[in-house]
Amino acid sequence: MSHFKETLENPVWFALSEAHEKLSITYNGVKFYDPEVCPFGAFTDAANTAEALNTYAKSCDSFFLVSEFGVPTYDSNHIILNRKIEGCQMVLNSLIETPITETIVRLTEDDMEDIYNLVWLVMPGYYRKRTFEMGEYYGIFKEGKLVSVTGQRMQTDEFVEVSAVVTHPDYGRRGLAKQLVYHVTQQILKNKKKPILHTTKGNAAIPLYEKLGYQLTRDMNWWHFSRK
């Protein structure tokens, strides 16, 4: 198995071991992001997760463990399993040309509050204000208002994850998200890395990603926990 394929099986783990190592916190053999940046963790041995979750929960009251097959253990005296979110992973095969009709700009720290507010309006739970530090973010403005965003989240030495694909409900069905995903994918390819993304099973956006050249590769589950 190639190293790239190995990283796809446990993307959070390898991101925290490679490109995002500076954002990594390790408890009892389980790796987590700094909770102010991203509430994600990953493991290689499920037997270690109960103790690690108890420790991480002291600094983060709501968080996720991400795994393809592994089922994390947890201490029900201190931790609540809210739900298992059944997701899937997509990897770019070959980027399919898409016309760009909108003005796409790279977002800066001055836009952090607007990004946060838009993402939480459309897709609450995953994004922190400092998630912006994980990669590049791009947006489309209308009349001075940020109405659509796409960015980069998990990164290893070989892949970059496209993430935070959101558009304000008042500006839907205009192709904004498709153009942004195409643009962000281009930027990843320019940096000689492989674009991937994650979404929930059955998400209506999957056909959009497929039209851009992404292919479904595997299941990827988000175990959502909170502090009791």
Task: Quote the pLDDT of residue 125.
Answer: 86
Please return the burial class of 212, using the count of CB atoms within 10 Å of its CB with bins 0-12, 13-18 and 19+. Answer: buried
Instruction: DSSP letter for 109, please.
Output: G
Task: Quote the pLDDT of residue 217.
Answer: 96
Asked if residues 227 and 215 have their Cβ atoms less than 8 Å apart, the reply is no
Q: Report the alpha-carbon distance of residue 18 to residue 161 in Å, rounded.
A: 14
Q: Report the alpha-carbon distance of residue 56 to residue 153 in Å, rounded.
A: 20
Whether residue 1 has pLDDT greater than 80: no
Q: What is the pLDDT of residues 141-190, one digit of tens each?
A: 999 999 999 999 999 999 999 999 999 999 999 999 999 999 999 999 99
Task: Quote the pLDDT of residue 155.
Answer: 98
Strands 30-33 and 24-27: antiparallel
- For the chain, what are the domain ranges? 3-87+223-227, 90-219
Q: Report the alpha-carbon distance of residue 142 to residue 151 in Å, rounded.
A: 18
H/E element holding 50? helix 49-56
Q: What is the pLDDT of residues 115-133, one digit of tens each?
A: 999 999 999 888 999 999 9
Residues near 44 by beta carbon (within 8 Å), at least 6 away in sequence: 10, 13, 29, 70
Task: Quote the pLDDT of residue 11.
Answer: 98
Task: Quote the pLDDT of residue 174.
Answer: 95
Please return the burial class of 193, using the count of CB atoms within 10 Å of its CB with bins 0-12, 13-18 and 19+. Answer: middle
Whether residue 110 has pLDDT greater than 90: yes
Q: What is the pLDDT of residues 44-58, one digit of tens each?
A: 999 999 999 999 999
Is the domain covering 3-87+223-227 a CATH 3.40.630.30 domain?
yes
Q: Report the alpha-carbon distance of residue 140 to residue 5 in Å, rounded.
A: 33
Q: Two tokens at 20?
A: 């995002």
Q: Two tokens at 13?
A: 């783990």
Asked if residues 181 and 170 have their Cβ atoms less than 8 Å apart, the reply is no
For the chain, state the CA radius of gyration.
17
**Average of per-residue pLDDT across 68-85:** 97
Is it true that 3-87+223-227 and 90-219 share their CATH fold?
yes
Domain 90-219 in this protein, CATH class: alpha beta
Q: What is the pLDDT of residues 7-24, one digit of tens each?
A: 999 999 999 999 999 999
